[in-house]
Amino acid sequence: PQPTYKGSILTPDQSVPYSTSPDNFDDEPPLMEELGINFEHICHKTLSVLNPLKQPDATIMQDTDLAGPLVFCLALGATLLLAGKVHFGYIYGIGVVGCLAMYALLNLMSLSSVSVSCIVSVLGYCLLPMVILSFIAVWISLQGLAGTVMTVVAVLWCSVSASKLFVSALSMDHQQFLVAYPCALVYGIFALLTVF
């Protein structure tokens, strides 16, 4: 006997219009792949930010995912929230203004054009040392001498990592210091949110 539904528009001689076997889902790609989230690329970019002395791969910026930057922005906001500071709006506002400013600056400096998603990806991934600093600020105050030193180290770490990624992705040889200065200004504002 063929399956039927009582109270439905199917008559007893019609079959169910779909199959209930699990074979239909074998051809479906994984959910993370459908969303464009690749954990291998996220880990690779995160490791290149954590080691600013290593020369990054130039092909690292071909995949400009925004999942990692979103996670790091949320992590920065969450660690600031643990310290009693509600700055989610400031984080995203400063992030948007900083990304637009870096987009305009890098399009003027480089011979090849750069996309906004590339800028957001690099600046977002290089926010990781600032997340570490804000996590430290939950436990100790950063308004003393040790806090000032840690803040300067975090800003330098962020700006060196971001400038290396920009220089390698855009083939801007011998211009790292010119790119690192505006990056340091952007991350300096995030540092001020963290300290005060």
- Distance, in Å, from the CA atom of 196 to the CA atom of 91, rounded to the nearest integer, reads 14
Please report which helix (H) or strand (E) contains residue 34, including its range.
helix 31-35
Per-residue pLDDT tens digits for 165-176: 999 888 888 899
Please give the model's pTM, rounded to 2 decimal places: 0.81
CA proximity to 75, closest of 117, 27, 134? 134
User: Among 33, 37, 90, which residue's Cα sits nearest to residue 68?
Assistant: 37
Q: What is the DSSP letter of 174?
A: T
**Domain assignments of the chain as residue spans, ordered by start:** 38-195
Where b means 16+ CB within 10 Å and e means fewer, 170-196 reads: bebeebbeebbebbbebbeebbebbbe
Give which of 75, 58, 87 is closest to 125, Cα–Cα: 75
Cα 189 from Cα 96, distance rounded (Å): 13
- Quote the CA–CA distance of 90 and 62 in Å, as a whole number: 29
pLDDT in tens, 84-126: 999 999 999 999 999 999 999 999 998 888 899 999 999 999 9
**Residues 120-163 pLDDT 10s:** 999 999 999 999 999 999 999 999 999 999 999 999 999 999 99
Q: Can you give the C-alpha Rg of the chain in angstroms?
A: 23
